Structure formats: C-alpha cells, structure tokens
Structure 1
Amino acid sequence: MARINDVGGTQGFGAIDTTDDTEPFHADWEARVVGLYNTLRAQGIFNTNEFRDAIESMPPGEYLAASYYERWFTAICALLERKGVLEPGALDD
C-alpha cells in the first residue's frame, strides 16, 4: 500500500513552482530543525532511514498540511518519543 508521500503519477496537485529560491531557509526555526536533525543523527539517536520512515508515516492530512521543515520537526519529535529520549506527550504543550 502506498503512503501519502508516494504520489507518482497522481494528478491534481497543481503546477510546480520552478523559480529558483536562493534562500535555504525562510525562517530561523527551519535552520534550527536542520541543526537538531544533524546533531541527533550524529549522536546515533536515529538514522536517515528511520527519519525518512517517520516522515512518510505521518497521517495523510497532517503530511499534506505541513511544510517541508514542519514534516522534519514532526518526524524528529516522533523519533525522540519512539527511542525513549522523551516521554510520550512531553512536547504536547
């Protein structure tokens, strides 16, 4: 069964914006999420495959509503709970 991110051949998502965007981040929090990802991965908390799976496992509505780095942050939070680094629900507030 395909996951929500597997949309190959699916129509109806509209045109793709192909203009070049020279800014790697549009807000400071996005750069912090990348730094958090790099740090946690380097410490062996999770690996790239686990991270990708966590993003792809997001509920479809949540996945489609989230921006690129919101998906990253959601995956990091899920992995920190899954790995026992954080108690479940610790980030709910």
Structure 2
Amino acid sequence: MSRVNDVGGQTGFGALEIEADEPPFHADWEARVFALNSTLVRNGVYRLDEFRDAVERLAPQQYLATSYYERWLLAIETLLAERGLLGAG
C-alpha cells in the first residue's frame, strides 16, 4: 500500500526547488531535533528503520502540512510514546 510520502513518479507536486548554499538547518530547533534523533538511535531506543516508518505513518494531512524536521519531531514523539517513555500531552 502506498503512503502519502511515496510520491515518486506522481505529478502535481510542482517543481523541486534546490537552494544553492543552503544551511543544513534553518533554525536552532531543527539541529536539536537532528541531534536528539541521532542520540536515540545511537543508544538503541529505536532503530533508524523504525524512525522512518514512524515518519511515514503520519496522517496524510499532517505529513503534508508539516516541515521536514517537524515530521522528525512528530515521529520521535510517536516512538517514545509507543515505548512508554513519553507521557500523554
């Protein structure tokens, strides 16, 4: 079954914008989310394939309405909650 992130070969998403000399992160919080994910994977809290699956499990409306690192944060929250490491709210 195709998920919302699987848009390969589909039309209607517009041209791909490639920003020259783009910084790796546009805001400090993005760098923190990247570091948090790296730390959690490195410490065996979850595997990278589990993280990718959590990103891909986002509801289509949520996936399309959020930025790249917002999706990362939502996936991290999902995985931590599923493991009982993050409480509701």
TM-score scaled to structure 1, two decimals?
A: 0.90
In 2, Cα distance between equivalents of 1:86 and 1:18: 36
| C-alpha RMSD of matched pairs (Å) | 1.0
1:83 maps to what in 2?
A: 83
In 2, Cα distance between equivalents of 1:43 and 1:25: 23
Shift of 1:64: 0.4
Size of the aligned set, in residue pairs, is 89
2:14 maps to what in 1?
A: 14
Moved over 3 A (4+): none
Unaligned runs of 5+ in 1: none
1:53 counterpart = 2:49 = no
Shift of 1:18: 2.1
Give the % identical residues: 54
In 2, Cα distance between equivalents of 1:84 and 1:21: 40
1:74 counterpart = 2:79 = no
